[in-house]
Amino acid sequence: MENITHTIQTVPLNHYILLSAIIFAIGVTGVLIRRNAIVIFMSVELMLNAVNLLLTAFSAYRGDASGQVFVFFVMALAAAEVAVGLAIIVMIYRNTNSIDINVLNRLKW
Amino acid sequence: MSTFYVIAFLSIVFSLLVIFAKNPVHSVLYLILTFFTFTIHYILLNAQFLAVVNFIVYMGAIMVLFLFVMMLLNLNKDTEPGKHYLVKIAGVVAGGCLLVTIVASVKALGKSQPIILENTNLGLVKNLGKVLFGEFLLPFEVSSVLLLSAMLGAVLLAKKEPKTA
């Protein structure tokens, strides 16, 4: 316990913000450049996890447990999103035999 | 101190590999490694409950779900056609612009204080449980409704197919 406390006392909060920003930008890039629907889902998961890490860092910085409770809620949301989203992807694959985003243009008006 | 930077470097490398791997199955495996580095981050921040939940929920449940769907769909044969380089370059430029904006705004804040843990049992189950079931009881119950509706939605989506076919 003492060791862990000693470790993080030398890491500035800015570095956690920068790490989260980099991971979030990687997630955004993944959503933009990939055409496989499942990989796009995984990029969304990356973005959610970047936010989780930042919330935890802020929670430790402020000494307030609310941030870690928010992370718990974000995880519940991600689980629900993955369950419904993957079901939708499986349905789309059954109907069109593809999960390429460029083929899925039936929702356009 | 150096532990954080090594793990941060690893998480950036693995998340880059997630979006640039050709094979979707490799993407899932790299995503598992990325989540493992996040678990180490949580341990370093002394958020032990979140570390365990992250390990169980993400690396256990969600990743198995991803792999299962990927194997079910049998996507290995139709890999992504790497033709539209223009779209890829535009996506990378857009993500880079977002990153530069955030980094510049963080830089404008100036130097920050290091993280100091005043309350070392902040992330323990005992402490978090008190906050979760006291102050955040209503959001907790609402999230249970959310999970129930997600479960119902998934079951309905899966059951509808034989009727229409």
Give the pLDDT confidence score for residue B76 in this predicted structure.
55
Give the pLDDT confidence score for residue B1 in this predicted structure.
64
Query: What gap in Å lies between CA A66 and CA A82, rounded to an integer?
Result: 24
Residues of B in contact with A62 (CB under 8 A): none
B:107-146 residues touching chain A, CB 8 A cutoff:
109, 111-120, 122-123, 127-128, 131-132, 135-136, 139-140, 143, 146
- The predicted model scores a pTM of 0.88
Average pLDDT estimate for A10-37: 90
SS3 at position A109? coil
Share of chain A above pLDDT 70, in %: 88
Query: What gap in Å lies between CA B148 and CA B92, rounded to an integer?
Result: 37
Share of chain B above pLDDT 70, in %: 90
Minimum Cα–Cα distance from A87: chain B residue? B154
The token duo for A101 is 């985003």
Under the banding of pLDDT at 50, 70 and 90, the label for residue A91 is confident
Closest residue by Cα to residue B20 from B8, B7, B6, B34: B34
Query: What gap in Å lies between CA A30 and CA A47, rounded to an integer?
Result: 10
Task: Convert the pLDDT of each residue in B94-105 to its tens digit.
Answer: 999 999 999 999
Subunit contact A77:B146, Cβ cutoff 8 A? yes
**Residue with structure tokens 């006291």?**
B134
**Residue with structure tokens 């039936």?**
A106
Give the pLDDT confidence score for residue B157 in this predicted structure.
85
Query: What gap in Å lies between CA A104 and CA A96, rounded to an integer?
Result: 8
Subunit contact A23:B11, Cβ cutoff 8 A? yes
Query: What gap in Å lies between CA B145 and CA B139, rounded to an integer?
Result: 10
Closest CA of chain B from A51, distance in Å = 11
Give the pLDDT confidence score for residue B162 in this predicted structure.
57
Subunit contact A60:B53, Cβ cutoff 8 A? no
Sign for the pseudo-dihedral over CA of B118, B123, B126, B127: positive
The crossing angle, in degrees rounded to 10, of helices B2-20 and A13-33 is 10
Query: What gap in Å lies between CA A55 and CA A66, rounded to an integer?
Result: 9
Give the pLDDT confidence score for residue A109 in this predicted structure.
60
Closest residue by Cα to residue A76 from B43, B69, B149: B149
CA distances B10 to B1, B6, B41, Å, are 15, 6, 11
Give the pLDDT confidence score for residue A49 in this predicted structure.
94
Smallest Cβ–Cβ distance between A83 and the set B12, B91, B150 belongs to: B150
The token duo for B162 is 């034989």
Under the banding of pLDDT at 50, 70 and 90, the label for residue B79 is low
Subunit contact B46:A5, Cβ cutoff 8 A? yes
Smallest Cβ–Cβ distance between A46 and the set B34, B151, B157 belongs to: B34
Task: Convert the pLDDT of each residue in B19-72 to its tens digit.
Answer: 988 888 899 999 999 999 999 999 988 888 999 999 998 888 888 888 888 888
Share of chain B above pLDDT 90, in %: 41
Task: Convert the pLDDT of each residue in B6-25 to its tens digit.
Answer: 999 999 999 999 998 888 88
Give the pLDDT confidence score for residue B71 in this predicted structure.
83
Smallest Cβ–Cβ distance between B18 and the set A15, A24, A46 belongs to: A46
Closest CA of chain A from B153, distance in Å = 6
